[in-house]
Amino acid sequence: MFHPELNKKILLVTIFAIAMGFLEAIVVVYIRELYYPEGFSFPLELLSPRIFAIELVREFSTMIMLLSIGFLIGRSALEKFSWFLFSFGVWDIFYYVALKLFLDWPESLLTWDILFLIPITWLGPVLAPLICSLTMIFFALTVFTRSQAPIKIYKVFWYLIFMGAILIFSSFIIDYTILLIGEGYFSRGGPSLLEPGFTKAMLNYIPEKFQWGLFLAGELLIIFSIAGFVFISKRKN
């Protein structure tokens, strides 16, 4: 499919990302054993400020590791970004594969999960991040297939990709953010785990409806952008 050297890189990065996904899942198994011994579900259990801070460090460290892959392997800025997306996508998919093997969770692709905590809590059905992961891998492989010849993504496509990413990000955080704004936390400089009101709101929050419209609009913008720069690059070649 690809040049032998590229095939080797893809294989090694895939193995690394799979192992990283399993390791991440193992950490989550421990956390759920401590906080959700009867199985993970909403509303959430309250983490202590210390554990919450450690979780933020864990997530930040995960992103540094995935970014490092791109910087180590990629030659151009586009290739570095693409290797990051590829490793992220594989890691995330196999994170859920490992959770299914270890915990028989999620029950379905529509089961809700906590996706990230930075910069605010991301929530959504498992299907949504899996779609994002497949899109990341698709973008990366599209770039890799054209690695033998210079590839240029025009600014208009980057703008559309950025807009799509913002829409997807918004779909994950909008309901929880509205909850916090409604409670007036941001007007006081941001929510704090030490505030009784914030604790009560967080522990009573049960997500019910995902913003699929926003999410799919973002996905369509990104897919359109990928198709656009592929079409232009083919015409030039």
Q: What was the pLDDT predicted at 176?
A: 81
CB burial class (10 A; 0-12, 13-18, 19+) of residue 107? exposed
Contact 64, 101 (CB under 8 A): no
DSSP one-letter string for 73-113: H-SSHHHHHHHHHHHHHHHHHHHHHHHHHHH---SSTT-EE
Sign of CA dihedral 62, 67, 68, 74: positive
pTM to 2 decimal places: 0.90
Q: Where are the beta strands (DSSP E) in the chain?
A: 112-116, 122-125
Paired residues of 113 in beta bridges: 124
112, β-bridge pairs: 125
Q: What is the pLDDT of residue 205?
A: 77
Q: What pLDDT is recorded for position 64?
A: 96
Report the pLDDT value the prediction gives residue 48, as an integer from 0 to 100.
78
CA 164 – CA 173 distance, rounded (Å): 15
- pLDDT of 190 reads 52
pLDDT tens by residue, the chain, 237 residues: 567 888 999 999 999 999 999 999 999 999 999 999 888 888 878 777 788 889 999 999 999 999 999 999 998 899 999 999 999 999 999 999 999 999 999 999 999 999 998 888 899 999 999 999 999 999 999 998 876 666 678 889 999 999 999 999 999 999 888 877 766 665 555 545 445 556 666 667 788 899 999 999 999 999 999 998 888 777 665
Which two tokens mark 42? Answer: 């909403």
Q: Of 159, 142, 148, 165, which is closest to residue 232 (Cα–Cα)?
A: 142
pLDDT at 194: 47
Nearest to 98 by CA among 216, 181, 17: 17
pLDDT at position 204? 73
CA–CA distance, 88 with 65 (Å, rounded to integer): 10
Q: Which two tokens stand for residue 125?
A: 């059905």
pLDDT of residue 89: 98
* Displacement of CA 52 from its chain's centroid (Å): 19
Asked whether the beta carbons of 217 and 225 are under 8 A apart, the reply is: no
Residue 194, Cβ density class (10 Å: 0-12 exposed, 13-18 middle, ≥19 buried): exposed
